[in-house]
Amino acid sequence: MTEPKKGWLQRLAGGLTRSSKALTEQVAATFTKQPLDQAKLDELEEMLIEADLGPHSAARITARFSEEKFGKSVDEVEIKQALAQAKDGRLHILGEMAKALTKAQAFSQYAPKIETMQVPTDKIREVIGSGGKVIREIVEVSGAKVDINDDGIIKIASNNAESIKKAYDMIWSIVAEPEEGRVYTGRVVKLVDFGAFVNFFGKRDGLVHVSQIANKRLNHPNEYLKEGQEVKVKLLGFDDRGKVRLGMKMVDQETGEEISEAKADAEA
């Protein structure tokens, strides 16, 4: 008596072991590309659970569903060949990509960027200014978008790296503190009888007393300086009211280097 022809589910289960409902649905959805009714899913799950899994079950599943979908049986050898060819092709493509991209490419200077910086919370008011005057000026001058939160975290965004740097520098000049003993390049903003006010650190001004301008006696600062003149100044310290004290005579105005006391006495 001829054995009845097995259905595709029975033939598919010829080498499978215990599985789960999730695997049943995944197998069905992957290979049939269409939903199966509940009866079919229940039948497939039962046969997956009860069947005895062989060493090449994955290939058998693929072959079985290929036959059902395309009307052509694909044996295990053909499947292995196809997978090997796919792997070779993928490795070839990756190799060509590696040749073209030998290292990480730098971002264009016009690519959108965000720079983050943090300032002390007691400096937030200074960055914002009265009525937002200072932060609006930073945005207008730099062209960057500037956001600041209550924790002092500032985000500077722009598609232009120079705009971000400009905004960053403007903010830094507001919140940073000048260092005593350091030489700065500044500009004379006002001359008075007792000295010269010099803008030397962002918007920070300091006084160069007339006795600290040159290694000689001056009756008035205008004998040596004029408004708008660029000068090199050394931060000498702060007075009792916190005002900045600057000096010029101990700094070479050409190089910005400090002059030794012996050289200063000789020039005097």
Residues of the chain with pLDDT under 50: 1-20, 49-56, 262
Q: Does some domain include residue 207?
A: yes
Residue 161 is predicted with a pLDDT of: 86
- The CATH number of residue 35's host domain is 1.20.120
179 DSSP 8-state letter: P
Same domain, 190 and 118: no
Looking at residue 259, what is its pLDDT? 84
Rounded to 5 degrees, φ, ψ at 237 are 150, -160
> Would residue 1 count as lying in a domain?
no
pLDDT at 173: 83
- Are 79 and 141 found together in one domain? no
Angle between helices 21-32 and 38-50 (to 10 degrees): 120
pLDDT tens readout for residues 196-218: 999 998 778 999 999 999 998 99
Its domain, for residue 25, covers 9-100
Q: Are residues 43 and 96 in the same domain?
A: yes
* Domain-terminating residue out of 100, 134, 160: 100
| Nearest in space to 212 (alpha carbons), one of 197, 201, 227, 226 | 197
Q: What is the pLDDT of residue 8?
A: 44
**Domains contained in the chain, number:** 3
pLDDT tens digit string along 120-176?
A: 999 999 999 999 999 999 999 999 999 999 999 999 999 888 899 999 989 988 888
Can you give the pLDDT at residue 22? 53
Same domain? 157 vs 189: no
Q: Closest Cα partner for 14 from 41, 43, 45, 50?
A: 50
Residues 123 and 156 in one domain: yes
